Chains A and B, each alone.
Chain A
């Protein structure tokens, strides 16, 4: 039982990262109806921007309390990626608004490759160490349960970010416009919603969340490289599909479920008879199962093609 709870904590902190990335997929899908393949690579840029910004800031922040330093790095990286997301949308996707979805998908693959290989040029191909923003300590809980403070901080800050997102989407004017656009683009436009602004805002918001996920991920696992976004990106996409693409609560729940399931499969690999090396296949098996049995996901709505 203890071991199970232990795995659950590990799974939830990983799941929180997936959830943060998955939200970006889902929001973009909501307003533009396409899968932003490059989202995982924005996540990667988030990790590197966090690393560089953290290193640059360190000498100035010697006297700061640790939490302030970590927060500033987190926000800086989020801001950088928000801008990056908006720029990507403006340059690569905006010219393709009325084109077939496949064209946009291929473009997104292009953007993804561009970020990865440009990343390789700029950052180098070898994995880099991520500076520790918060001194890692181990916290013992009831019954010998162990968790690192970073895991707990990740869970708490993720909850705060999700709360913030909820407020933005449900209470702000832009959030309202975003929801209108995803319900009915034509009607939203006729009602005076400025589509371009809303789409930019959506990309900015999604990319910022991915960057937060990246800083958490890098703090948890410490090594970062230009291709680090590929797998978490794909897994977060699976999380979005699991929750129902287009549904914000779906993306959160999907991310957490995926993180937990993946961790449990590895943790209990002997018991399940699945070698731990299959860790990366778990998400895809889940994806195929959902798409076969409940393509609309846990919280999604089914859509019918008009004939």
Chain B
């Protein structure tokens, strides 16, 4: 398995606050990796670093061996990284289908002039994109809702739509930021099954931020734990469950509660 994403001693500071500190981390092709940690540990910041929303203060981030420093988010997406957002960021004035179609932007063969001329090649492309988008929506059970405004979707469906939209960019690495937040246990199990399914079907690597321990432990092959911006542990779910630092920092409370 070749390596997709590598972080080397990545640090980011916002004023006096060190949000992520000296993190080494990697994701290989086709892996499903979990990223956990208490609130404010720097998980979302890590996503923002990988996707180019923030630039590391020091350290390197490489995608497929190439350093991404200074690239736009859209260029990084073009290199095969797609993401969802913790605080859902859909294109609110668009329909469900159009949200997905907008994400095909990277794979257009006929752009500005094609849209003006509207020739045969353009129409074929539009038809194909529409079909592909519908197929993706189908997998996530959103086909029926394709023409409704995305704002009118229930919360859980909006999260699913974010995943569909991310898949439309045809990523190799999918970053999911708390995709099951706000869902009930049944929905969560269903969502995890879907994530597994898409991971295998599209041969994706998935990096998953999730609060629900059961979910993460059940689905991930490898887990990294962040606390106060530092990586305090990394290993298989069993290893993480036994790790003293993790138990002290994070699982401790959960285990005690359970």
Give residues in A with beta carbon < 8 Å to B.
304, 307
Contact = CB atoms under 8 A, between A and B. Distances in A.
A307 B85 contact: yes
B48 interface: yes
Closest 5 CB pairs of A and B: A307-B53, A307-B48, A304-B14, A307-B85, A307-B44
A304 B15 CA distance: 11
Interface string B23-63: 00000000000000000000010001000010000000000
A304 to B, nearest CB: 7
A302 B225 CA distance: 31
A245 to B, nearest CB: 19
A262 B44 CA distance: 47
A302 to B, nearest CB: 9
A304 B53 CA distance: 11
Interface string B59-95: 0000000000000000000000000010000000000
Contacts of B44: 307
A304 B13 CA distance: 12
A305 to B, nearest CB: 9
Contacts of A307: 44, 48, 53, 85
Interface string B100-125: 00000000000000000000000000
A304 B54 CA distance: 10
A307 B48 CA distance: 8
Nearest to A302: B15
Contacts of B48: 307
Contacts of A304: 14
B186 to A, nearest CB: 30
Contacts of B53: 307
Nearest to B14: A304
A99 B167 CA distance: 33
A291 to B, nearest CB: 20
Nearest to A301: B15
A12 B88 CA distance: 51
Contacts of B14: 304
5 contacts: A304-B14, A307-B44, A307-B48, A307-B53, A307-B85
B162 to A, nearest CB: 14
A101 B101 CA distance: 28
A307 B44 CA distance: 8
A304 B48 CA distance: 13
A307 B177 CA distance: 11
A42 to B, nearest CB: 35
A304 B17 CA distance: 13
B181 to A, nearest CB: 16
A307 B46 CA distance: 12
Nearest to B86: A307
A307 B14 CA distance: 14
Contacts of B85: 307
Nearest to A304: B14
A260 B65 CA distance: 54
Nearest to A306: B87
A307 B53 CA distance: 8
A135 B48 CA distance: 64
A73 B85 CA distance: 58
Nearest to B51: A307
B17 to A, nearest CB: 11
A257 to B, nearest CB: 27
A304 B14 CA distance: 9
B145 to A, nearest CB: 26
A247 to B, nearest CB: 17
A207 B168 CA distance: 52
B176 to A, nearest CB: 15
B246 to A, nearest CB: 27
A177 to B, nearest CB: 26
A110 B170 CA distance: 46
B167 to A, nearest CB: 20
Nearest to A305: B53
Nearest to B85: A307
A249 B14 CA distance: 25
A186 B97 CA distance: 37
Nearest to B44: A307
Interface string B1-26: 00000000000001000000000000
Nearest to B53: A307
B40 to A, nearest CB: 13
B173 to A, nearest CB: 18
